[in-house]
Structure 1
Amino acid sequence: MLELADILDARVRVAETARRTPLDYSHTFSAMTDAKVHLKQETFQRTGSFKIRGATNRIETLSDAEKEAGVVTASAGNHAQGVALAATKSGVDAKIVMPENAPISKIKATRDYGATVVLDGEDYNEAQAKAHEIEETEGRTYVHAFDDEKVMAGQGTIGLEIVEDLPEVETVVVPIGGGGLISGIATAVKEQKPDARVVGVQAEGASSVATSLEKGEIHTLDSVDTIADGIATRNVGTDPFDVIEKHVDEVVTVSDSEIAVAVTHLLERAKTLVEGAGAVPLAALLSGAIDYDEDEIIVPVLSGGNIDMNTLTTVIMRGLVETGRYVKIRTVLKDRPGALGDLLGVISREKANIYGIQHDRTSRDIAMNAAEVEVDIETRGHDHVEELLAALREDGFDVEVLV
């Protein structure tokens, strides 16, 4: 099983390529949670995520013959970029298999770091099967995204940094996909501070670990569905699972809506762009998924910031809806002069801002002398939304909330 000595050995190799990332105290999130929240900013890491650490440690420990033959791996995006850069820096040829629906930004970045990209499969597990085919036919070394002790040790260097920078840390909150990150961090933290708590967080749409812990064996999901593509794996790795059973105190889940709120808050309040997988630790804190004491010293690990721009647009809109900052309504007006003006007058009176209006007289679902109107509105919170809806209904408008 992975030990602290393995992580200490990895530190020297990892330092050749990876950065030591900031651990920043957040006044905003401390106030929002009544805890003392310090954000571990792996979003500022080279390649935009923690994955460069494990990839570097694995590639630097290859034999000369293995380096000559090249490496292959499967990844939804972040591990791909880490392997690509680490391999390029070591003069090793890398071939990366990514799911066909992987974010375009991550595909492009992986190619830009010097790897050959093969798109195959609907998710990580199918891409992995293709990568193992390439391993066999081309004689390359497979660099696993998480189920590899050298990779786990590299990720564990984050835990070393947390304990060194914040010796008084009480709880570390870490995303879980395949388990490589949390197994490395948990080993580094627990073997230095046994009383510290390590909490894992999964997305509801990819939550295999809690069931695995209950069963005492690895449970594999039939499919995954979450905006947190970086942790969208059907199962945890064998080696990471052993460490999770030993060192991780609790595993919780968060919804996509809760993840979207966390991403939005990080953008607006911390000026930090974090992908869905990287936001799940903060989502767990903000949503109340984790129990903690007042003023508890907590470190959410923001594991990466490589979010696709199209995905980001959707996530921000979901976050605004969930926080009462955006609402879309539908109503039917009499098709007469001034009817639309009456509706907009109420919205204006209630100090709401209109993003857009769709006006349709042709719908078969309404009377011939009516018009269907949809209005996108900027609001100032849930209370403001309720006040606006009440004012519209009081003025005789039959309003349906669409979003």
Structure 2
Amino acid sequence: MPDTRLDLDRIRAARRVIDPVFLDTPLFRCEALGRALGCAVSIKLETANPVRSFKGRGTELVASGLSEQGRTAAVCASAGNLGWALGWSGRRRGLETTVVASRRAPAAKLDRIRALGAVLELVDGDFDMARERAASMARQRGVRLVEDSLDIETCEGAATIGLELTRRPPDFDTVLIALGGGAMATGVGHVLKSLAPEVEVICVQPHGAPAMTRSWHERRVVTTDSTDTIADGVAGRHPIPAVLDDLLKVADDAVLVQEASIVTGMRMLMEHAGLIVEPSAALGVAAVLEDPGRFAGRHLVTIICGSNVNLDDYHRWGAGRPATSP
């Protein structure tokens, strides 16, 4: 079992806390996508829930803990999905939720946060600037700052995906995981390396937001001055040292992919699996497109982590056009 901040017993216990609406998401073989990519492909569909992303697993643990402590408020920075999930989990437990986001965040995500009754504050700049503002607000108000990936609940909530993947002896040999802050990668990776160590864990990030991938390869925190990618959900500039330490122990590889491959991956998921996804969810398919020889003859699982995408952007990127082959 890898020596990380995560604990397998706590992850198992998390399933009793998380609303079942987020658990046991579909896992199915997509033969059409596999034929197009030249390998066997199974999809773990983390968008089949009320917030359309995996983030609800972690926010359920956060909100439950705050409620047990008698706390009534929380603030977070979000590219959109975490804020929506925290708003959903917080509303069920009577928590006042404040979300700080970039003005450049997809309008669809911001609208859904507002619809839950959360307080939404927009800042100029990117996610890391939103994170700085959220931290300042939490200090001033004396409320809980929810930090995705740093807070262990977000990682162990995401890790329950790994428990579902390993419910039976896996017939797959590779799992492709979108890499942003690292909650899903470290969580799922921890479970896989504990229960199915023969499965290769590959993290995928855009060339336009490479900080965590570069950090993994150099085994030290590497920051970037800016990001330039349509995959807003993974576009951080400042990796968290403790999360990187965990990632180094559970990831077998971390790769970067081009924007064009992300768009093609989105098109292929729509055409071959009937899924409209946000760019971050297509990173796994993009990795296969860029290195088909590596995956030929293998059986991989790609985790579809979110489907919160503005449809105008989706069509503007060209993701709605047919893509019959890589």
Into which bin does the TM-score normalised by the smaller protein fall? over 0.9
Q: Is 2:68 aligned against 1:89?
A: no
1:302-317 matched pairs, under 5 angstroms: 302-316=304-318
AA matched with 2:248: E
**Aligned-residue offset at 1:66:** 5.4
How many angstroms apart in 2 are the aligned matches of 1:166 and 1:81? Answer: 34
How many angstroms apart in 2 are the aligned matches of 1:89 and 1:279? Answer: 31
Aligned residues: 322
| Residue among 215, 219, 238 paired with 1:212 | 215
1:208-260 deviation line (CA, Å, top 9, x unaligned): 12321233211111011101111111133233211210010000111111000
How many angstroms apart in 1 are the aligned matches of 2:260 and 2:48? Answer: 25
How many angstroms apart in 2 are the aligned matches of 1:162 and 1:282? Answer: 18
Partner of 1:80: 83
How many angstroms apart in 1 are the aligned matches of 2:272 and 2:133? Answer: 41
Partner of 2:126: 123
CA contact (8 A) 1:209 1:219 kept: yes
CA distance 1:315–1:245, shift in 2 (3 Å): same
CA distance 1:236–1:17, shift in 2 (3 Å): farther
CA contact (8 A) 2:175 2:300 kept: yes
Partner of 1:62: 66
How many angstroms apart in 2 are the aligned matches of 1:17 and 1:135? Answer: 29
| Residue among 246, 249, 257 paired with 2:249 | 246
CA contact (8 A) 2:67 2:93 kept: no
Partner of 1:194: 197
How many angstroms apart in 2 are the aligned matches of 1:222 and 1:66? Answer: 39
How many angstroms apart in 2 are the aligned matches of 1:290 and 1:101? Answer: 37
TM-score (normalizing by structure 2): 0.93
CA distance 1:165–1:81, shift in 2 (3 Å): farther
How many angstroms apart in 2 are the aligned matches of 1:277 and 1:227? Answer: 8
- Secondary structure class of the residue paired with 1:182: helix
| Residue among 149, 154, 157 paired with 1:154 | 157
Aligned-residue sequence identity (percent) comes to 28
Partner of 1:221: 224
How many angstroms apart in 1 are the aligned matches of 2:229 and 2:109? Answer: 17
How many angstroms apart in 2 are the aligned matches of 1:239 and 1:168? Answer: 32
- Secondary structure class of the residue paired with 2:16: helix
- Secondary structure class of the residue paired with 1:299: strand
Q: Is 2:243 aligned against 1:230?
A: no
The structure showing larger relative contact order (alpha-carbon pairs under 8 Å, at least 6 residues apart) is 2
TM-score (normalizing by structure 1): 0.76
CA contact (8 A) 1:284 1:290 kept: no
How many angstroms apart in 1 are the aligned matches of 2:261 and 2:169? Answer: 27
1:228-377 matched pairs, under 5 angstroms: 228-288=231-291, 291-294=294-297, 296-316=298-318, 320=321
Structure 2 residue runs without a partner (length 5+)? none
CA distance 1:309–1:165, shift in 2 (3 Å): farther
CA contact (8 A) 1:17 1:86 kept: no
How many angstroms apart in 2 are the aligned matches of 1:288 and 1:140? Answer: 46
